[in-house]
Amino acid sequence: MKNAMIPICLFAALFAAGNTSLAATDGNGKTTAPVKVIFDTDMLTDFDDVGALACLHALADAGECEILATISSTRGNASVGAVQVINHYYGRPNLPVGAPKGMGVLGAHTGAKVKVDSSAPLGEKKGGHYKYRKLLADYPGWYRYADSDDAPDANNVYRSVLAAQPDNSVVICSVGFITNMRRLLETKPDAISPLDGKALVAKKVKRWVAMACRYPDGKEYNSMWDHESSRIAFENWPTPILFSDWQYGHDCFAGRAVAEMKVERSPVKDVFANNIPSRDQIRKDSHKWLRSGFGMGGRSAWDETAVLLAVRGVEPYFNAERGTYRMVGDKGDDEWAPDAENGPHIRITQRMPKAEVARVIDELMTRKPKNGKN
């Protein structure tokens, strides 16, 4: 099935009760099932990934979603270990984890040529995957894979989880590179499933929510750094894709409330407290900080908005435009082509004021884990 042939009714369903309302009950008091989510994160340089995973766990604690797996899109670093620390904090230490093999972004930053030496001293705060390696140093025993390369192949995790789920039931939420979606599409039938990757996705996945791309065109981190995978996945993905793009999240600031939480021991608080500039710093040069993705409310909530979209849907937070995001040229540029009738993609735009969306995100991120470590 080509993307352009996705029937309109599939898009209508994205806005219907059960997709857009709380999982516990919809607007009419009808009980709805928790949204089944596979979370895919780069957990590499930025830290809105931590906020996004915190939101997801809070929504799972509330019965609004079920987390099926938490997968890294980067390799040779502490990304899987950092994910496991957060999973442990929320009382879900055994969630399946995985990482890509053989392709995609490697090491401590996007241009890295070598993997992180997990046995090397932590070193200076600047660069070097510091914030995530620090989580592993501060929370020993809360993770299994200090090196993401030791984690299972993301393809096997995706295929096993998808094969075990009801048809048309899984939402994939990606807040990092697109590597794993491309690799999944290219998988062959195996002992896990007689279906190839594209057929398995078409059968089991309801929709893919991606934090990626820049409106109306340009370069965006998640879609740019493994742009070949982005191009292949966007062109061949057999379900609707919803985008929370750079344009939506960049001026939606969340996380200062997390940084200022009065809790003793929280990896979520630690990351936000260590990486958000002070109110005084912002006050002195707000334009400079805005260019870097910081505001009085905290950090640009690119990844957290994707989780909100994945679990609670478009309404009441967002408006939606239909069209196509596609990769153009060979340097990682993307562009949006509006197509209100037949576009296979949706990008969200502002409906509720972004400060209100940020408050929803902050409320989720600051919830105490229901069954976790504290």
Residues in contact with Ca ion by CB under 5 A are 42, 49, 175-176, 303
Q: How far is the CB of 202 from Ca ion (least distance, A)?
A: 26
| Residue 232 tokens, joined | 């292949």
Q: How far is the CB of 356 from Ca ion (least distance, A)?
A: 23
| Residue 311 tokens, joined | 């679990």
Q: How far is the CB of 369 from Ca ion (least distance, A)?
A: 22
CA distance 56 to 312: 11
Q: How far is the CB of 280 from Ca ion (least distance, A)?
A: 28
Q: What are the strands of the beta sheet with 294-295, ordered from one edge?
A: 253-255, 298-300, 294-295
Q: How far is the CB of 47 from Ca ion (least distance, A)?
A: 9
CA distance 68 to 235: 25
CA distance 14 to 256: 31
User: Which residue's CB is nearer to Ca ion, number 212 or number 346?
Assistant: 212
Q: Torsion angle of alpha carbons 44, 50, 53, 55, nearest 10°?
A: -150
CA distance 297 to 280: 13
| Residue 1 tokens, joined | 């099935």
Q: How far is the CB of 303 from Ca ion (least distance, A)?
A: 5
User: Which residue's CB is nearer to Ca ion, number 3 or number 305?
Assistant: 305
Q: What are the strands of the beta sheet with 205-210, ordered from one edge?
A: 97-98, 65-72, 35-41, 170-174, 205-210, 241-243, 345-350, 318-328, 333-338, 217-219
| Residue 183 tokens, joined | 């690799």
Q: How far is the CB of 37 from Ca ion (least distance, A)?
A: 16
User: Which residue's CB is nearer to Ca ion, number 147 or number 220?
Assistant: 220
User: Which residue's CB is nearer to Ca ion, number 245 or number 315?
Assistant: 245
Q: Which helix (H) or strand (E) holds 221?
A: helix 221-224
Q: Which residue has the tokens 């929709």?
A: 207
CA distance 318 to 244: 10
CA distance 40 to 49: 9
User: Which residue's CB is nearer to Ca ion, number 187 or number 244?
Assistant: 244
User: Which residue's CB is nearer to Ca ion, number 42 or number 147?
Assistant: 42
| Residue 270 tokens, joined | 């630690």
User: Which residue's CB is nearer to Ca ion, number 49 or number 333?
Assistant: 49
